[in-house]
Amino acid sequence: FVIVGAMDGVNHDRLHKHIAKNTDWEGLLVEPLPDMIEKLKNNYFGRYNLAFEDAAITEQEGMAEITRIPEANVGQECPEWADGISTLKPDIHIIGQHDDLRAYSRQELIRTTTFETLVDKYTLTQIDILQIDAEGYDKEIFDQIWAANFRPSLIKIEVNYLTYVAIKEIKAMLETHNYACFFERDDLVAVKT
C-alpha cells in the first residue's frame, strides 16, 4: 500500500486498523511535516516492512511552504480536526478561507519530491491499496501515480478541495479502466472490478 498524507498514521486514517492488524502488509507512508512523521514512525514502531518518506509529492524535487495549524493550537483555539488540514494550496482550502483558522495558520518549509523518485528509491513495482489525502494537491499526485502505470485494486482519494471538473475527470478515467466508483464523505473510492 501507499498512503500519501499519512499524518500520524492513526488520526483521520481509516486504513490504520487494517495496517495494524495485518502485520505482513508492506507499505510506503508519505508525510511532509516533521512532527507528524515522527509520530507516524512511533505509531508503527517495529514494523520493518513499512517505509516512511518525509516529503510532499509535487512535480519537482526541492522545498515548498506548507500552511498548517500548529499542534499547540489544535483542540484549543482551533478544532481537533485542524491537525489534519495542512496544505500546499491555502488559497482554495478551508485554512485560508476561514478567519478563525487563518489567524492561527503558519507556514513551514518542507521537502518535496516526485512520485517517480519514490518509485526508484523504494523499488515500487506494485500498489494494491492507494490512499491520497493531500488537502487540495490530490489530483496532481494521482496524475503522477496514474502516469507511472500503477493500477491499485483499491483507491481512496480526497476530493473535498478539487473542482467538479477534476473530480469528474478522475472518476471517468477510473470507470474507463474498470473501476467501480462511489463517494464516501470527502473521498472518491474506486475498486478494480
Cell output for 54 = 518525509
Greatest Cα pair distance in the chain: 46
* pLDDT digits (tens), the chain, 193 positions: 999 999 999 998 989 999 999 999 999 999 999 999 999 999 999 999 999 999 999 999 999 999 999 999 999 999 999 999 999 999 999 999 889 899 999 999 999 999 999 999 999 999 999 999 999 999 999 999 999 999 999 999 999 999 999 999 999 999 999 999 999 999 999 999 9
pLDDT of residue 29: 98
pLDDT of residue 160: 93
pLDDT of residue 179: 98
pLDDT of residue 66: 97
Could you please report the per-residue DSSP string of the chain? -EEES-TTSSTT-TTHHHHHH-TT--EEEE---HHHHHHHHHHTTT-TTEEEE-SEE-SSSEEEEEEE--GGGBTTTB-GGGGG--BS-GGGSHHHH-HHHHTT-EEEEEEEE-HHHHHHHHT----SEEEE--TT-HHHHHHHHHHTT---SEEEEE-TTS-HHHHHHHHHHHHHTTEEEEEETTEEEEEE-
pLDDT of residue 139: 97
pLDDT of residue 152: 98
